[in-house]
Amino acid sequence: MSANIKEEGKYKYVESGGDGDVLLLLHGLFGALSNFEEIINEFSHKYNVVIPILPIYDLPLRKVSVSGLVDYVEEYVEYKGFEKVNVLGNSLGGHIALLYAIRRPDRVHTLNLTGSSGLFESAMGSSFPKRGNYEFIKAKTETTFYDPAVATKELVDEVYSSVNDRNKAIRIIATAKSAVRHNISDKLDQIVCPTLLIWGKQDTITPPFVAEKFHEMIEDTELFFLDKCGHAPMMELPESFNEILLNFLDRHPMERK
């Protein structure tokens, strides 16, 4: 996508600008800016859409963990001076959003999750793919979606490049293992902000029962399932996803001073 990436100090991010409420988007382990392209296109006229590029491949190895990424998001929000944010996370990004909402309830106005980890996830199966196995990566990337055609060659190439870079592969494995260890079922009752769950009915990575468990354990939640949809609804059914998200955010505006 053509979004301009800004670099300031240790931060790389995309920001639409404007005076609207902040909509902070957190990508997953294999996430790319293109994953949020339709959200940026739809919401930039009304919201300040911000996407920090999570330093999964740049953190010191000792800090490569879900907690290390939550630290980064917390520092980034402080750096930008955002008093309140609407946080939206997909997959690992949802896991980070959950932990950030628990840590900083004073900063999170609404929480929006889609295909979030934190309770259960099945990403790469029981073993990490052998380097150089393009067809395996292609097949695994396609299973992210109900319609395998959504896994474009560009997307598959990006994932393939990541797992074939030794430095990146080590960090991917470390982050994925950290996410599995960092189950937060015992902390979900600490989330106090309005929470929206948008889930694909055919999500095989964080199946529908995960969304139902979040709905049960987080007090103030709304849950929507999208049919013929996998792990990334904002990519696969962007119109339906955006309509639900916009309706939710419109009903939960931030107070203006």
* pLDDT for the residue numbered 129: 53
| Percentage of residues in the chain having pLDDT higher than 90 | 69
Res. 122: pLDDT tops 80: no
Secondary structure class of 169 (helix, strand, coil): helix
Mean pLDDT, rounded, for 47-61: 91
* pLDDT for the residue numbered 50: 97
Average per-residue pLDDT for the chain: 91
Task: Give the pLDDT confidence of 154-209 residue by residue, as tens digits.
Answer: 999 988 888 888 888 888 888 888 888 888 999 999 999 999 999 999 999 999 99
Res. 76: pLDDT tops 50: yes
The full set of domain ranges for the chain reads 6-122+183-250
Res. 44: pLDDT tops 90: yes
d(CA 157, CA 147): 18
Q: b/e for 99-116, b at 16 or more Cβ within 10 A?
A: bbbbbbeebbbbbbbbbb
Mean pLDDT, rounded, for 241-245: 98
Band the pLDDT of 124: cuts 50, 70, 90: very low
Domain 6-122+183-250: give its CATH code: 3.40.50.1820
* pLDDT for the residue numbered 123: 55
| Residue 56 burial class via C-beta count within 10 angstroms: exposed 0-12, middle 13-18, buried 19 and up | buried
Secondary structure class of 86 (helix, strand, coil): strand
Band the pLDDT of 246: cuts 50, 70, 90: very high
Res. 85: pLDDT tops 90: yes
The DSSP secondary-structure symbol of 232 reads -
Count Cβ atoms below 10 Å from residue 1 Cβ, excluding itself. Answer: 11
